[in-house]
Copies of this chain bind each other. A is one copy, B any other.
């Protein structure tokens, strides 16, 4: 199992994450002959800087502030489509929001644990889940092509915040 749960929920050197992610994004672009423009990089950066998913209009606000000029929705959606296409970010359908992908190079499940208290989202890559879903689809003669798996509940921190503090 591969997850960024700890990174999301615990303190760490986040600039390093971002730089590593950007480096990896640039090499992916080189590989695929895709252009990582200034706008696209900024949007990716903004998403990496937030461990919560950001909506298109939040991104619009933030990018607009960053560039000190108005930015239109289309600009955001174009950047986001580009990043989605490369697998550098994901769309969380239930939230109408986007989040950076912690392991863009790995085959993974698009499985997200979404904290309904604090809004944090961790991604989990789990081969067994993929395998099981594939088996289910095979049995049903359904040709599986992609998936969106969203789990809602409380992240470790919010779970422990609400729990009885007496330890057995």
Contact = CB atoms under 8 A, between A and B. Distances in A.
Contacts of A150: 93, 147-149
A49 to B, nearest CB: 23
B140 A113 contact: yes
Interface residues of A, number: 38
Assembly stoichiometry (copies) = 2
A147 B152 contact: yes
Contacts of A94: 93, 148
Interface string A142-168: 111111111111111001100000000
Interface string A90-130: 00011000000000000000010101100000101010110
Interface of A: 1, 3, 5, 93-94, 111, 113, 115-116, 122, 124, 126, 128-129, 132-133, 136-137, 139-156, 159-160
